[in-house]
Structure 1
Amino acid sequence: MLAVIPARGGSKGVPGKNLAPVGGIPLVARAVRACVESVHVTDVVVSTDDHSIAQAARTAGAEVVLRPAAIAGDTATSEAAVIHAMDEYEATHGFTTDVVLLVQCTSPFITVADMDGVASAITEGGADTALTVAATHGFLWREAPDGDVADGYGVNHDKANRPRRQDREPEYLETGAAYAMRADGFRDVRHRFFGRTALVRTDPHRVLEIDEPDDLSRARALAPLVDATRADALPTRDDIDAVVLDFDGTQTDDTVHVDSDGHETVIVHRGDGLGIAALRDAGLPVLILSTETNPVVAARARKLRVPVLHGIDRKDLALKQWCEEQNLDPQRVLYVGNDVNDLGCFELVGWPTAVANAHDIVKGLARSVTATPGGHGAIREIAAWILGPSLSRTSRRDPSQ
């Protein structure tokens, strides 16, 4: 059972859409994780023409099929991308697909239950195709054929007869999140609906497709509520044994003020100091790791009472050695970065984390992304992920802030 996630890089409505973080996780990574965690899906592939999306997909646990330009434009269909990905993946791995899933990462709140639902509708329910739907009792209207908005008419009801909600049979809205097809039939008709089509009901409160910038804003606002049932959405204290922080761009806004004598100053956020103090008080080792040889980095580390390694050319090697000295499993280390010189550390740790204003490639490869920019409380936000309500209730002001 092969899940294919089409994710091209050329979105015009929402530029960079498939790498946009929702609830701290890039959209493409959210889709990959739902597929990877499914008990039915055996293989997950992302079809893309974009290098950054490909990297993010691999980091999240998918394999990648690079999509040719001929099927990567605005008029390309999802079906064409799925067939190409299926053919390429089968040729590379030497097997034949029985069931293929089309999964769209523009549905940010897609769930494992969605994956398993459409898959089992075919493997156990005898359907040829399946899709996720949400029940609705809404009354639909349409303008008159001549466009006269003053003469609307009911589509699924008689406007002279308005039965109560409980007296009406529900209708079903296609969510756009997940589809499943018998692979041989899909190849024959080259369309996602044929034969017997099963409707797999999903929670209507999770239904949202990101097509416009306002959709993305709404998804980000809803994520804390909708993701509350996901145990793995953001790291907790049970996931983390240590926190390692880049300095410039994560604890600062990446701006340096230079006076006429060449002295450099930066601005830091008091909330970050509180967050670091709370992590330290919770018994978590905290390290500042920076390529810069700058007295301000060491001064800030002394203020926060945490160790610092700065003037480091290869941060990944320094981080690896530090983990060995501290007897830490790198997979239980959270590393916070913002630029491409952090990617080596991202590959080493289990929780690579980017701040909101990080480079797009860095955000695409991050396992989690803050909603707050670096230098404006991003570290405080991460501390709240890890420590939860205990940090929110902290009222004392630590002198090390």
Structure 2
Amino acid sequence: MTVLAVIPARGGSKGVPAKNLAPVGGVPLVVRAVRACLAARRVTDVVVSTDDALIAEAARTAGAEIVLRPAAIAGDTATSEDAVLHAMDAHAALRGGNGDGHGDPEVVLLVQCTSPFLTADDLDGVTGAVTEDGADTALTVAPTHGFVWRQDGAGRTEPDGYGVNHDKANRPRRQDRPQEYLETGAAYAMRADGFRAARHRFFGRTALVPTDPARVLEIDDPHDLARARLLAPLLDPQVLPSYDDVDAVVLDFDGTQTDDKVHIDSDGRETVAVHRGDGLGIAALRRSGLELLILSTERNPVVAARARKLQVPVLHGIDRKDLALKQWCDEHGIAPERVLYVGNDVNDLPCFGLAGWPVAVASAHDEVRAAARAVTTTPGGEGAVREIATWLLGPALSTAPATPTAP
């Protein structure tokens, strides 16, 4: 059984510019969708339909096949069905199809990357409804018991509110009303031959596949995106990076390797406190072969002194940390998606958008925690970097020397 998942992801969003590349939980929306599809047991092929080179690059790196969408079906009036049909043709052509259905999969999925908390189980659910339960189409839905209202001002001086799924003069108890479902907009499954014939996503027998209402969110405007980022630490399973996931570790200094406090003596000299465990972790990371860098906005002798002791290169006094990080990656031949970047405050957010593994320390600003792909359990300056080294190298930090050179 061939099941093709198509993810439409054009580049011209107006409500949220570059929406499909916006990170939630440290991962761009289009990449989240690709990962969900690749994790689904029943999905055999994953295609991203896009007109945008950056979206194509992110999706390809995540493991999807790319179909470049022509301008005729990339504008505001183009439908998702148009994108799916075009992607089916392109996918079939690569496999010797001729555009009349020859080479089509048995089932095609429409997967929306604007639903950030879509899961592999959701996709397997709608697919199974078609492949095993006899449905022609299926969609994810969320149970709802809400009273729906509509306002109609036609022929009136004042608009009149009236009940859509209830009579406002007779409001039965929830348990006395039939169960209703809200379309989540996340995933749809269709028999491919029926979809080609009907050219829309609902035909024949349609199955409703309930999902967890807590995960239902469609990103249409900046407020939706902000909510998604706040929910991500609660809804996303914590996935920690391993040594094989990264080629470099880039560390902020203040608030990450310190507790973000500065002590100033009567002569104006500044001192900070660092954690010996962080020194052990950094020594182990350095000896493991990973590239290391300290990147700081502050131009402060203490930053340079700490970097010298740790034997780690440092760039400090940097206003645009993301530009400096990109240049450093280019100079060292490191792909940004293979960088683990550790930060704590809002000036780290541009680097979070660039690095493949943005990590926040436990004491980080709420907005930074929401944008991170992983969050330490340890605050900055109290061993957070040692904790990250443990993620990458294991609890024993076996690559560290018996007597660390930079405690």
Report TM bin, short chain.
0.7 to 0.9
Q: Distance in 1 between matches of 2:325 and 2:203?
A: 47
8 Å CA contact 1:346, 1:352 repeated in 2: no
Q: What does residue 331 of structure 1 align with?
A: none
Q: What does residue 48 of structure 1 align with?
A: 50
| Residue 196 to residue 297, structure 1, CA distance change in 2 (3 Å) | farther
Q: Distance in 2 between matches of 1:139 and 1:82?
A: 34
Number of residue pairs aligned between Structure 1 and Structure 2: 340
The AA in structure 1 aligned to 2:326 is D
8 Å CA contact 2:247, 2:339 repeated in 1: no
SS at match of 1:13: coil
Q: Give the one of 31, 36, 39 matched to 2:38.
A: 36
Give the structure-1-normalised TM-score.
0.73
Identity of aligned residues (%): 54
Unaligned runs of 5+ in 1: 252-267, 312-335
Deviation of residue 5 (structure 1)? 0.5
| Residue 187 to residue 389, structure 1, CA distance change in 2 (3 Å) | same
Q: Deviations over 1:166-218 (max 9, x none)?
A: 22221111100000111111111110110111101011111111111111111
Alignment of structure 1 residues 23-102 onto 2, 5 Å: 23-94=25-96, 95-102=103-110
Deviation of residue 55 (structure 1)? 0.8
SS at match of 2:146: coil
Q: Give the one of 350, 354, 360 matched to 1:357.
A: 350
Q: Give the one of 116, 124, 130 matched to 2:132.
A: 124
8 Å CA contact 2:153, 2:160 repeated in 1: no
Q: What does residue 356 of structure 2 align with?
A: 367
Q: Distance in 1 between matches of 2:88 and 2:64?
A: 14
Question: Greater CA deviation, 349-358 or 66-75?
Answer: 349-358
Deviation of residue 269 (structure 1)? 1.9
Q: Distance in 2 between matches of 1:200 and 1:189?
A: 21
Q: What does residue 20 of structure 1 align with?
A: 22
The AA in structure 1 aligned to 2:173 is R
| Residue 298 to residue 392, structure 1, CA distance change in 2 (3 Å) | closer
8 Å CA contact 1:103, 1:177 repeated in 2: yes
Q: Deviations over 1:2-29 (max 9, x none)?
A: 1010001111110011111111111111
The AA in structure 2 aligned to 1:342 is C
| Residue 298 to residue 90, structure 1, CA distance change in 2 (3 Å) | farther
Q: Distance in 2 between matches of 1:277 and 1:183?
A: 60
2:172 corresponds to 1:172: no
Q: What does residue 389 of structure 1 align with?
A: 377
The AA in structure 2 aligned to 1:22 is V
Deviation of residue 159 (structure 1)? 1.1
8 Å CA contact 1:242, 1:285 repeated in 2: no
Give the structure-2-normalised TM-score.
0.72
Q: Deviations over 1:295-324 (max 9, x none)?
A: x7997465044333579xxxxxxxxxxxxx
| Residue 14 to residue 358, structure 1, CA distance change in 2 (3 Å) | same
Deviation of residue 145 (structure 1)? 4.8
Q: What does residue 389 of structure 2 align with?
A: none
Q: Deviations over 1:344-368 (max 9, x none)?
A: 4127848689952149xx63xx534
8 Å CA contact 2:149, 2:162 repeated in 1: yes
The AA in structure 2 aligned to 1:89 is H
Q: Distance in 2 between matches of 1:356 and 1:111?
A: 26
Q: Distance in 2 between matches of 1:281 and 1:291?
A: 16
The AA in structure 2 aligned to 1:181 is M
Q: What does residue 265 of structure 2 align with?
A: none
Alignment of structure 1 residues 159-308 onto 2, 5 Å: 159-227=168-236, 230-232=237-239, 235-236=240-241, 244-246=248-250, 251=252, 269-273=254-258, 278-282=277-281, 284-286=284-286, 289=292, 300=303, 302-304=305-307, 305-308=309-312
The AA in structure 2 aligned to 1:67 is R
Deviation of residue 162 (structure 1)? 1.4
Q: Distance in 2 between matches of 1:190 and 1:209?
A: 24
Question: Greater CA deviation, 281-290 or 141-150?
Answer: 281-290
| Residue 22 to residue 348, structure 1, CA distance change in 2 (3 Å) | closer
Deviation of residue 119 (structure 1)? 0.6
Q: What does residue 326 of structure 2 align with?
A: 339
RMSD: 3.9
8 Å CA contact 1:58, 1:64 repeated in 2: yes
The AA in structure 2 aligned to 1:43 is D
Q: Distance in 2 between matches of 1:31 and 1:273?
A: 36
Q: Distance in 2 between matches of 1:385 and 1:134?
A: 27
8 Å CA contact 2:359, 2:373 repeated in 1: no
Q: Deviations over 1:17-73 (max 9, x none)?
A: 111111111111111110000000011111111111111101211111111111111
Q: Distance in 2 between matches of 1:132 and 1:83?
A: 21
Q: Deviations over 1:355-397 (max 9, x none)?
A: 52149xx63xx5344579xxx989x979x9768324579489x
Unaligned runs of 5+ in 2: 97-102, 260-273, 316-322, 387-405
Q: Distance in 1 between matches of 2:38 and 2:66?
A: 14
